[in-house]
Amino acid sequence: MKGYVLTIDPPAGPRRESIVAELSRAPFPWEFVEGVRKDDQSLSWLYSPLKNLLFCKRSLAPAEIACYAGHRLIWQRIVASPDPYGLVFEDDAGIPDWAAFGRALEDVVGYDYVKFFDFAPKSVALSKTVGSTELVMHRMIASGAVCYLISRSAAQRLLSRKNIYRAADEDISRAWEFGFDVWSVWPNPVVEKHFCSNISEGRQPKERNVLRSLYGNILQAHKQIRMASVIRRGR
């Protein structure tokens, strides 16, 4: 297994120095993957405003589109590699307990997508013990792509979507569209360090379009129904 670190930080930037220090104890090889800048012209063909309007409750900021494009670059490397799995980090990841992280990493190999960090997780719907690790499935998959394990198969399925129209977190929270489940290690062995976030600063303000807000409620209700179906199937 290989690790991939997504970054747009300059070579001597604080995020790079932080993640280098964190991964200095890594028992696996890893490499940086240069992300996509939000003003990159290639994003114009990747993002579909029409599909965003039809299938998402809000427009995406350029930084969100660029972040998704960066994760796709990593998925492409995993698909092109001989490894059946890849370990993905964002450059603000922190690993306070390498022993716990290492045990979890060994236990969860075999799953398509496992998160090691969740932002504001919802209540737990399913739980199971694998080795010494507790895996949980939340009623609604939490955001946060700071660190996750992904299989080559899952990466291929995600890349089959030629145009993006949701944030990366939003697509992962609808993993049934790609034919795999999302589990989380609990408690999370990875934390998110606090740096200035270009994504949150560049996110579009809440739209005041009443019709789109109502439509967003319909999309959210559909998501809840589909997630409930996933949970029933897992029981």
Output the pLDDT for position 178: 97
CA 109, 112, 117, 120 dihedral sign is negative
Output the pLDDT for position 216: 80
Average pLDDT, consecutive stretches of 10 residues, N- to C-terminus, the chain (235 residues): 96 96 96 96 93 92 96 98 97 96 96 96 93 96 95 98 94 96 96 75 57 82 90 83
Q: Which CATH number do you get for residue 191?
A: 3.90.550
Output the pLDDT for position 208: 63
Please give the residue range of the domain that contains residue 102: 2-196+205-234
DSSP symbols for 113-127: EEES--BS---EEEE
User: Smallest Cα–Cα separation from 154: which of 67, 84, 91, 101?
Assistant: 84
Model pTM? Answer: 0.92
- What's the Cα-to-Cα distance from 148 to each of 38, 111, 113, rounded to whole Å? 23, 11, 7
HSE-CB of 120 using CA atoms within 13 angstroms: 2
Across the strands, what pairs with 124?
138
User: Smallest Cα–Cα separation from 164: which of 76, 64, 47?
Assistant: 47
Domain total in the chain:
1
The four Cα atoms 139, 203, 162, 74 give a dihedral, to 10 degrees, of -80
